[in-house]
Chains A and B, each alone.
Chain A
């Protein structure tokens, strides 16, 4: 076994931080990233909950661990992965090959395609956008405008789009959407103070440190309205505004209202890259179609293939904080394997 070389597949935040830690432990690390730069989804996120820190600050921090310490191959399209004994050989579409004693899969997630919730009219109604679209507007410093250029006065956020929804086949919670809706609704109020903002939620899952405080502040300081109920459908008015129908389950009655802008809080789905790499390596999937770890409590970075490990959101939706923590744990797990310490062979 080549005890010094590690290939990290995926150059998002999990791939970057695990590579940093492995490099710090003096391993030769190569990141294979399919896009043209590192950072993954964080490149498209302006501010982070709950601190409102710029995403770029975290990205800069992660980059410091990678720069000049890790070999980075962008635009990498993996064609083949072979396992010979305990070593792996990866071949790219351009013919380049890479050898390693361990592979760390950090292929992350894709954003749920909101068009699958046909009844919400994404890509059909002009003023229905996703949380990712809104974040892009924030990132680009654009004014929040409707399709016809007007400033929206009433904005609605729909939670759990593509999450906790058996109709689209995703029964799991994506974890970050509730708090992202709180964050974005506060940002909307900062951009357009006179606007009315409504969040339509099933449950407010404010599990993280300071999330509850942020939720309370959104209500008390910013006047964001939280309505407990799932949207049944959205339609378009003649003036381009959006009519939503929802049951207010706390008031116990149906609600019909017009909004200027509807924001769909899209959840996580397993990435296309995960599916490709998973097939090449024969990795097992869990019931939610993310990679299945060897144990849910203890072996959370270990795959069913010896020498292949996981980091980040390829195993389940995670916050940035959780992803970074998981990436460091993954680096430790890979190191223990390459040093032939039996950490991941303990029985449970």
Chain B
């Protein structure tokens, strides 16, 4: 591997990321599966002194329906226009979606309107008739991972832990996985482009870890919408994830970091399913490979309590990474709620913790 070659590509694919005053829009999937990740994002930005605004009227972007061919593009664009209207009404110009699908949708719609102004005019009319709202197109569109990437050095300066094995001093081996809709449709809109994205690599390296480039790095995580949403195709979904795990296993990854709701779910939960079906785990000694969102990793680096940032809802236990990083945590609190209430424990875990 010639690192200078990657560095040249990383230099070629830079993007503008606003440094404050964000209008944050949440992810349908992440709010349900990893709600702690979004809370952690807000906590980090607050700690960095940044202004973030949310509007409770924000809805789904309809991206999954659109990519599954059940939402027409005109409907999609009108819903997107409404999100922009909420941003405009709130007095913001910098849109930050939590979800990669939404980021791809917003990028696609803005690009469509740029090339076809008549379509934009038509959608403005639809929105006006339907809701009476008007909107400005965001001045800056950045995915939440872009924002954390922008502040990766500030986070490193505040770090209480690093992505290193405390016993050996060696960097942790990290698999980074980028959502397809982050840059594959519009390479210039992603930090580092589509083939060798830098957005997560930059975080990992800044925080002390070492990124693994394995043969199936670019392969689909297993979501791919129709592979999973159509029940009959789910075997294909698992086959995709399985292919990736088999490919990354020889590199002995300590953890996986992703910036996409779907990737996170499937890389996490299919490990459990594979362990049940084939009694196969991909970490050492019966452990899985813990899967984290970029906010969770940033939160761990900043010293946030693992259970405050929601790591107990992961299917693959995160404890092996916590131990390697030397993070102090209370195992008894793992399944306790905010007020100490018992959340209940999983009946069975295939993984050694």
Contacts and interface: CB of A to CB of B under 8 A. Distances in A.
B250 interface: yes
A24 interface: no
B216 A118 contact: no
Contacts of B194: 118
Given A115-B8, A118-B195, A118-B196, A123 B2 contact: yes
A230 B255 CA distance: 34
A236 B196 contact: no
Nearest to A118: B195
B2 A237 contact: no
Interface in B212-237: 213-218
B2 A235 contact: no
B1 interface: yes
Given A115-B8, A118-B196, A238-B251, A124 B216 contact: no
B215 A243 contact: yes
Contacts of A243: 215
A39 to B, nearest CB: 30
Contact of B5 (A124, A233, A235): A124
26 contacts: A115-B5, A115-B8, A118-B9, A118-B194, A118-B196, A119-B195, A121-B5, A122-B5, A123-B4, A123-B5, A123-B8, A124-B1, A124-B6, A125-B1, A126-B1, A233-B195, A233-B218, A235-B214, A235-B215, A235-B217, A235-B218, A236-B1, A236-B213, A238-B214, A238-B251, A243-B215
Interface in A114-145: 115, 118-119, 121-126
Interface residues of A, number: 15
Contacts of A115: 5, 8-9
B247 to A, nearest CB: 9
Contacts of A123: 2, 4-5, 8
A115 B213 CA distance: 18
B193 interface: yes
Nearest to A235: B215
Contacts of B195: 118-119, 233
Contacts of B193: 118
A124 B195 CA distance: 11
A236 B5 contact: no
A125 B196 CA distance: 12
Nearest to A232: B218
Contacts of A238: 214, 250-251
Given A115-B9, A123-B8, 4 more contacts: A123-B4, A123-B5, A124-B196, A235-B215
Interface string A226-255: 000000010111100001000000000000
A244 to B, nearest CB: 10
A237 B217 CA distance: 11
Interface string B1-43: 1101110110000000000000000000000000000000000
B242 to A, nearest CB: 14
Q: Which of A121, A122, A124 gathers the greatest number of chain B CB atoms within 10 Å?
A: A124
Interface string A57-91: 00000000000000000000000000000000000
Q: Which 10 interchain pairs have the tightest Cβ spacing?
A: A124-B5, A118-B195, A123-B5, A235-B215, A243-B215, A119-B195, A124-B2, A237-B215, A238-B250, A124-B6
Interface string B174-204: 0000000000000000000111100000000
